Amino acid sequence: MASFIEVPGGRLRVVDEGAGPPIVLVHAGIACLDSWDALAALLVAAGYRVVRYDARGWGRSATEDVAFSEPADLVAVLDAAGIGRAALVGNSRGGANAFDTAIVYPDRVAAVVGVAAGLGGFDGDVTPLEVELFTEMDRLESLDPPDPAAVAEIDLRVWVDGPGQPPTRVPAWIREAVRAWDEPLYAPGHVAGQRIRLDPPAAERLDELRVPVLAVAGALDPTEIAQIARHLEANAPQARAIVWPDVAHMIGMEVPDRLAGAIVEFLAPLPRWA
């Protein structure tokens, strides 16, 4: 069932389903909580309580033009749901938020699964094609006003298809769903708020990431994403990386069954949490 919770200067849409140890799903920057539909159903069927929410400025959530902390918003979701500790599953920007939250609020997090996750402060390598694509992405986003359709199309090429991959690589419904979520972010008058970034960033504080971590990446994603997964495995105290050869950024939409299986296998040995 969907509900809304109030946060300072904003309002978040939350969906809370199932029963069991709680998992919070944190969506990518080109999506909203609906991107987790298939994965959420699988995790509920596996015996977990699954909470997901639209970050402020995304989906049906809203924000005033105020400074805000994404980890504080995530903890507000936990508080509103009466959850003491949760496993966090974060895609892309949502993965970066999950890692930040585990560092800032370690007693509220049981484990983190990064799904094509970002990592604050990490600078990886890029290929010449990725340089070209990101340069064009920056140009389109900086136009005043930006063209929402043009920005969404290059986002699809980079994050849904994967750099250099054909637009037919994924089912058309995935591309069109992401397009529908992404275009409104660049519409005139859209308010995103002012994100307060973790300082020092997470990449410089991996020794503080004390919970078990599973980093799942796809080899068809921009190069940096798999590098982040391997960097976490090498530098966080309890991290393991998986790089699948046949997926890109929206792994939860491309292969929800496979991702759910990896999450359940990862969480199963851990002491139960609530």
Mean pLDDT for the chain overall: 97
Q: Provide, rounded to the nearest whole percent, the portion of the chain with pLDDT above 90.
A: 99
As beta bridge partners, residue 90 has 26, 114
Report whether pLDDT(25) > 90: yes
Is the pLDDT score of 44 beyond 70?
Answer: yes
d(CA 100, CA 197) in angstroms, rounded, equals 9
Average pLDDT over residues 163-183: 98
pLDDT for position 247 = 98
| pLDDT (mean) for 246-269 | 98
Domain boundaries, the chain: 2-124+191-267, 128-186
* Bridging pattern class, strands 2-7 and 10-17: antiparallel
More confident residue, 59 or 2: 59
Residue 245: what pLDDT? 98
Per-residue pLDDT, 1: 67
Q: In this predicted model, what pLDDT tens digit does every residue of 205-242 receive, in sequence order?
A: 999 999 999 999 999 999 999 999 999 999 999 999 99
Output the six-digit token pair for 32.
């909203």
CATH class (in words) of the domain with range 2-124+191-267: alpha beta
- The pLDDT assigned to 2 comes to 82
- pLDDT tens-digit series, residues 70-109: 999 999 999 999 999 999 999 999 999 999 999 999 999 9
SS3 label, residue 124? coil
